[in-house]
Amino acid sequence: MRIIPAIDIIEGKCVRLSKGDYDTKKVYDEHPLEVAKRFEAHGIQYLHLVDLDGAKSKHIVNHAVLEQIAVKTSLQIDFGGGLKTNEDLRIAFESGARQITGGSIAVKDKETFAHWIHTYGADRIILGADAMNEKVAVSGWQEESNEELLPFIEFYLEKGIQYVICTDISKDGMLAGPAFSLYKKIIDSSVLTDTQQGANDLKLIASGGISTFEELPRLAEIGCEGVIIGKAIYENRISLKQLEGFIVEN
């Protein structure tokens, strides 16, 4: 299971929110590049970089931060937040993103998102399936859509998606443990017919609520391909040394 620390950006600074609420913003570091370098120094290879300004503005904003981290570290970055157009995507990839995550666009413009999967390949496009009460949320989690989570994921599996980041919004930033039962439900339900995408092609990335190191082996046992860790690192609930050991052992 891949360890993927998160850096969320507002006004160029490293912040965290609780349940996606911008009013709960807490600044942890004014220099995201230095945070990324600390991750890299502990053997971490991946980074989940979220442009929260972009999510709110509905277009890419903090691409300069993305480019700086991409140029000055070797981290493989997945980038999300406000990616709505082909131009947003072009900027993200040219700024150094290895993958991009689309959430709202995958709900509101299925044709465009499916086109991105076809054009860039399933290894570069991640489905952001973030939900409250198993309903997909959009627009930086400011809106709840009518999309049911499991059929939404199944729809895109049939379109060729492989990587899916799923956040239970009620858990995000709360340090109360991840949604183990939801992730198991997604993995168990992702068995399609032989003529469609196979269940083994689903690479589910857990996100939200990670609070202790002991939760990581449980997520791996369920079958999660990766786990995104944010506030637990910044609040020193999980140390970078522990994550380094987990990576070495696995």
> Using CA of residue 49, residue 51, residue 55, residue 60, what is the dihedral sign?
negative
Among 78, 88, 130, 168, the active-site one is: 130
Which helix (H) or strand (E) segment holds residue 240: the answer is helix 240-249
Q: How many CA atoms lie within 13 A of 59 on its CB side?
A: 6
Burial class for 240, CB neighbours closer than 10 Å (0-12, 13-18, 19+): middle
Assess contact for 136 and 152: CB atoms under 8 A.
yes
CA distances from 222 to 85, 123, 231 (A): 35, 22, 22
Residue 8: active-site member? yes
Catalytic sites, residue numbers: 8, 130
